[in-house]
Amino acid sequence: MLRPPPQLTVSQWAEQHRILGSRASAEPGPWRTARTPYLREVMNALSAVHPARRVVFMKGAQVGATESGNCWLGYILHHVPAPVLAVQPTVELAKRFSRQRIDPLLEETPALKDRVAPARARDSGNTLLSKEFPGGILVLTGANSAVGLRSMTARFLFLDEIDAYPGDVEGEGDPIALAEARARTFGWRRKAFLVSTPTIAGRSRIEREYQASDQRRYFVPCPHCQEMQWLHFERLRWEKGDPRSVRYHCESCDAGIEEHHKTAMLAGGEWRATAQAEDPHTVGFHISALYSPVGWLSWEQIARDWEAAQGKAEDLKTFKNTVLGETWQEQGEAPDWERLLERREDFRMGIVPSGALVLTAGVDVQEDRLECDIWGWAEGFSSWLVDHVVIPGSPRERAPWTALATLLARDWPRECSGTMRLAKICVDTGGRDTAAVYGHLRHLRDPRIAPTKGVDGWNRAQPVQGPTPVDALVDGRKLRHGLKLWTVSVSPWKADLYRRLWLGRGDAEAFPPGWVHLPQGIEAEWVKQLVAEHLRTAKDRRGFARQEWAKLRERNEALDCAVLARAALWLLGADRYGERFWTQLREQMANAPLQASDIPAGGKIASPPVAAEPLRPRGWLTSRGGWLR
């Protein structure tokens, strides 16, 4: 304990001791830094002899970033024993990381086998989330656990996939700040490794941390002119429809570089800082999957993925995040309401179009009325505005809620045949009369109603969370835990709606997936309310950029109702079960279009059974007399 840290870097330790097993690697055997030369400097910055205190790594997929962090953990256990805190986005992911990464690291690396006692040994200190070793302890936790983040003091922090961390962990603040507070007492000896694939511009944590660093890029030599450059996706070129013709073109000589040149290019590369760091003890690295070694992710496959993603905003977003290691810029500008008004379609309000498979609704509570919009949905989250209903009356009174109950019992005729009822309805409980709204919603006792509270968070684990028991005021008496409340992150749903509103058809006859269909009878005022906000960039208290929604006009009830109707669809399970959800509904519609059906108890559509179950027959959405007729 009294001897100074050994003069050994993490990359040297890995080459001497690290063994990769088949459970954790596609290339089992001794660790070879020469396979991924760009990781050498990243790992060396994590060494005890390096002056850096914070190492930031923004990266694409298939570049070996997590394994470099595992090498660092092995280095600490073997050579620099100290308390270590490893944080994954959730506790469940921390458990998976322990089983799939940490256990193989300990079992397959001979130098570490004797450092941690077997899990079955008595008083071994080796559990799923805690590994004791001479001179230190490795604790694994999730960023969604405030207790786990403040339960110990740690000299070393391994913060993995930080863009998936929640924005506020259990009301105690930012999880990164909570974790780094655990290391302050170690002063200049502390070190934190922040790793992640980036997500959305303006709210990506790893982008924010990288921009505050010296922003290093990996420069490689051109095999033709030897000019040093870092790889841009724009220089990767191929014949349209023929990804096999892909070549990377040098910035200097414009000569085509083939895939087999990559090995020599990586070996001759070097990291260069491209900015001045705000903190001299912070170093930042950025690398894309273009640098992935030969045999991992090829340029040809990257070209195929790019072509396959064209016209699909979600796939383009995934490509930019995971392949290029760059943030995605949301379309936060509000579409022109005049353009939306002009593209109204020839279907009547109050009639369910033939393409809609399920109805949801959002209710916005105002001081003198309830605004309710009913939306129909189909595959790809294509949507139709079926009806717009305004229920007059103060939300403190019983009358508007009685009218809402009547609306829930109403049948909407389908364009082809039969009728449909609402499957789920989300009611915003915010405002001045929250307690009264709670009481009236409890009095309705309809399992299809989901009381909600909107928040602006972007980084929550789920866009809809809950339910959380809250007190309700029933007939003037406070009822403890009388209502279950759902929390809706409105920001991602607004961004999703704007993305769908910006979709274009071009010369195509069919509507693209996700198209928002508006009826001819909807008024201009409603369309203005649908695009009443825009996404703007602001500064938080620490001076970092963040994105927030701001009003362009005072009234935005249509936007709020659309967000709530989309949240209701999420509660039904459309996002969770994907294609199975829509297939089940379409089969029902084809098999029994005129028979009544009902949503299962509790107002949630469950997953279709994998095998036949006596308690859940094939027609699990049919024959109960309710929302689909």
| Contact between 11 and 39 (Cβ < 8 Å) | yes
User: Parallel, antiparallel, or unpaired for β 29-30 and 270-273?
Assistant: unpaired
Confidence of residue 623 (pLDDT cuts 50, 70, 90): very low
**What token pair was written down for 322?**
């995971």
pLDDT number for residue 107: 87
Buried b / exposed e over 285-307, threshold 16 CB at 10 Å, is: bbbbbbbbbeebbbbebbbebbe
Question: What does the buried/exposed string (b/e) look like for 187-216 if buried means 16 or more CB atoms within 10 Å of the residue's CB?
Answer: eeebbbbbbbbbbbbbbbbbbbbbbbbbbb
The 3-state secondary structure of 492-518 reads: HHHHHHHHHHCCCCCCCCCCCCCCEEC
Least confident interval from 307-316, 402-411, 599-608:
599-608
Name the residue type at position 70.
N
Mean pLDDT lowest for which of 96-110, 218-232, 458-472? Answer: 458-472
180 vs 117, residue with greater confidence: 180
Among 29-38, 408-417, 513-522, 600-609, the minimum mean pLDDT is found in 600-609
For 218, the token pair is 């990996």
Residue 340: pLDDT over 90: no
Please, what is the Cα angle at 446 between 438 and 412, to 5 degrees? 120
Once rounded to an integer, what is the mean pLDDT over residues 270-291? 92
pLDDT for residue 531: 87
What was the pLDDT predicted at 163? 87
Each domain of the chain, given as residue ranges in start order, spans: 10-322, 342-591
Is residue 473 a contact partner of residue 436, using CB atoms and an 8 Å limit?
yes
State pLDDT tens for residues 71-80: 999 999 988 8
Let me know: does 427 contact 444? Beta carbons within 8 Å.
no
Tell me the whole-structure pTM to 2 decimals: 0.65
Tell me the CA distances in angstroms from 482 to 248, 398, 451, 598, one per residue in order.
Answer: 63, 18, 12, 25
> What is residue 148's predicted lDDT score, i.e. its pLDDT?
80
Give me the CATH code for the 342-591 domain, please: 3.30.420.240
Give the H or E element holding residue 529: helix 524-530
Nearest alpha carbon to residue 74 among 104, 42, 95, 105: 105
Q: For 480-501, what is the mean pLDDT?
A: 83
Lowest mean pLDDT among 28-42, 350-364, 476-490: 476-490
In the structure, what pLDDT confidence band is assigned to residue 119 with cuts at 50, 70 and 90? Answer: low
* CA atoms within 13 Å, Cβ hemisphere of 597: 25
Residue 519: both structure tokens together: 């009826």
Share of residues in the chain with pLDDT > 70 (%): 85
pLDDT score of 624: 42
Task: Tell me how far apart the alpha carbons of residues 48 and 186 are, in angstroms, rounded to a whole number.
Answer: 13
Average pLDDT in the chain: 83
Q: What is the DSSP string of 50-69?
A: S--SEEEEEE-SSS-HHHHH
Asked whether residue 288 carries a pLDDT value surpassing 60, the answer given is yes
Three-state SS sequence of 151-218: CCCCCEEEEECHHHCCCCCCCCCCHHHHHHHCCHHHHHHCEEEEEECCCECCCCHHHHHHHCCCCEEE
405 has pLDDT over 70? yes
Is the per-residue pLDDT at 304 higher than 60? yes
- In Å, how far from its chain's centre is CA 113? 36
- In this prediction, residues 365-372 reach a mean pLDDT of 88
pLDDT of residue 32: 92
More confident residue, 58 or 458: 58
pLDDT digits (tens, 9 = 90+) for 582-617: 988 888 877 754 433 444 434 444 443 333 333 333
Mention the CATH class of domain 10-322.
alpha beta
Would you say residue 498 has pLDDT above 90? no
Would you give the DSSP letter of residue 292?
Answer: P
pLDDT of residue 151: 73
- For residue 301, is pLDDT > 90? yes
pLDDT given for residue 601 in this prediction: 37
The pLDDT, as a whole number, for residue 521 is 84
H/E stretch holding 474: strand 464-474
